[in-house]
Amino acid sequence: MTDDTAAAVEVDLEALEETLEYIRPALQADGGDLILLGVDDGTVNLQLVGACGGCPMSTMTLTAGIERILLDRVPGVTGVNAL
């Protein structure tokens, strides 16, 4: 591990929580929700639940919606995984 790798930006957890609260009403309006499972090296791990859990559009929602918003608004986020 180099010093550059060790100095990686950490995810701003307060900004992450605030942004998830911003996103959540749109999911809830369609009968879904999300659960934050954790953050690993800049990757936010989420679980889509309710109607979102089985929706065929959930991958699109995750990448075109949730991931884009988190990358734009939360320092340190490098990606999003739905588990």
Mean pLDDT of 26-48: 94
Dihedral (CA of 49, 52, 56, 59) sign: negative
Query: Residue 35's domain is classified under what CATH number?
Result: 3.30.300.130
Residues with Cβ within 8 Å of residue 25, at least 6 apart in sequence:
none
Cα 34 to chain centroid, rounded: 9
Task: Identify the pLDDT of residue 71.
Answer: 97
What pTM was estimated for this model as a whole?
Answer: 0.83
Domains held by the chain: number: 1
Task: Identify the pLDDT of residue 21.
Answer: 98
Lowest mean pLDDT segment, chosen from 7-11, 38-42, 55-59, 68-72: 7-11
* Position 11 pLDDT exceeds 70: yes
Domain limits for position 61: 3-82
